[in-house]
Chain A
Amino acid sequence: MSDERDAFEQHPSALDLIDAAREHLATRVLPAITDPRLRFETLVATHVLGVASRELSRGPEMAAEIDRGRAALPGSPEGDGALCALIEEGRYDDPEAGAALRRWLQARNELSLFAWNPLFLMRVKG
């Protein structure tokens, strides 16, 4: 990381703030809630803060990986819109191109699942 970028970083970081809020909900708020509906909603709120935290922790790396992988696909699409257009034109109908597309789609799904539900990923990948 460059010194220039360091100069613009905030302390505590966005990640620190999210993690603190998640910890507060999990350790202070949730144990005090007796209403089942409110408890469920607060569990969801705690979970989504965890999702945001995991995603931010790998965000730039994830975005770069997705872009690199897409650009390397047959037809070298530059974005999701271009890729959708190529799919609709039949560019990935042949077995080899289709297999390459599915590998990229699944790598992207895995990155999403790393943030959303790492346990799901562990379960389905064995």
Chain B
Amino acid sequence: MTDATRPDALPDPLRDELLSAVSAAAGLPAALVSAKRLAGGASMETWSVDLRVGDRAEALVLRRDMGANMSAYALDRATEFALLQAACAAGVLAPRPRYLSPDGAARRWFLMDRLPGESVGRKVVRAPELAAAREALARQLGEALAVIHRVPIDRGLPALPGRRRALARGGGAPPGAPGARLLRPATPVWTYALRWLSARAPAWDGALSLVHGDFRIGNLLVDPSGLAGVLDWEFAHLGDRHEDLGWVTVRDWRFEQDSRPVGGVGSLDDYLAGYASSGGAPVDRDALVWWELLGNLRWAVTCHSQAQRHLGGADRSVELLSLGRKAAEMEWELIDRIDAIEKGAR
């Protein structure tokens, strides 16, 4: 057993709090078998945790707040836990939430079932053992999104933030754009892209859907049989479902498999056919492209905000700092796509 998988790799207070909460919820004694810190998101601490609860072995994942590093746009863990419960009940392919931290926990956490599969983007789009899975994946992504967007929003869901189309109303930050406050001071690329997008915001009927908010390769578990689970619900909100539909088509989530516009794994036609076949409402293709372009802007702004976490001293990390320069990739894509659209219009 390596250091990383020793039971005591979990900090003692967290281990005690976790076992106490699980034991109380299950009405059985709980013991830690192993724990391993996983490479996780920038605002979430994630662990693979194996427990013995009574006589039963439980394979779980722990998601825990990172305190000061939490995004202002992220759900708290109790809300995410309740959302996962509602989503699973509605048939969404997602890990079943199991145990929630006590109310008084300094940093909230929850445990959910650990599903099999690969989530690392570069592996999902390239691993030979997933080749057969990739053939059906674009269609399955469409199917999964349709199920998410059909979740009833008027019953069973916890209170979620509603990101209305502030941009379409002519002001404010782009909807679904973490870090949008950093648009001031703006760069010429952001200023131009925002003005261009604002002038072309597609018509919207105002119908709110449950929006996952970060539905992309990298947040999806894939096993050899295909899509195994939708992860990372911290940016879920109520909004225009085209936001989700466009986000997975952003170039960076193709992980260099540029010929496959949907997450580097498949075609737009297969994706939208899957969406329609699972009961998804008709898709406005212009709106999808608009949200894809806005997604590039959102990701570029987010990259800058991540670099700022290092520069501001809140979280010193060469990885976060480097993301500030990665924004150039999304900025290139934005201008290239806008230019192509403008040339087509002339």
Contact = CB atoms under 8 A, between A and B. Distances in A.
Nearest to B323: A44
Contacts of B321: 48
A12 interface: no
A61 interface: no
Main secondary structure of the interface of A (DSSP, over half): helix
B189 A109 contact: yes
A113 B195 contact: no
Main secondary structure of the interface of B (DSSP, over half): helix
B322 interface: yes
A59 to B, nearest CB: 14
Contacts of B188: 80, 83-84, 87, 101, 105, 108
B336 A84 contact: no
A93 B338 CA distance: 13
B214 interface: no
A105 B336 CA distance: 10
A106 B339 contact: yes
A19 interface: no
B335 interface: yes
Interface string A100-125: 01100110111011011100110110
A106 B318 contact: no
Interface string A31-47: 00000110011001101
A48 B325 CA distance: 9
Interface centre among B185, B328, B342, B346 (most CB of A within 10 A): B328
Given A95-B342, A106-B336, A116-B328, A48 B187 contact: no
A101 B189 CA distance: 9
A47 B322 contact: yes
Given A102-B338, A123-B258, A117 B322 contact: no
Contacts of B185: 81, 84
Interface in B172-203: 185-189, 191-192, 195, 199
B329 A106 contact: no
B332 interface: yes
A108 B332 CA distance: 9
Interface string B237-271: 00000000000000000001010000000000000
A99 interface: yes
Interface of B: 39, 185-189, 191-192, 195, 199, 256, 258, 317-319, 321-322, 325-326, 328-329, 331-333, 335-336, 338-339, 342, 346
5 contacts: A45-B318, A84-B187, A84-B191, A116-B328, A120-B329
Smallest CB-CB A-B distances: 5 pairs? A112-B328, A109-B332, A116-B325, A84-B191, A87-B191
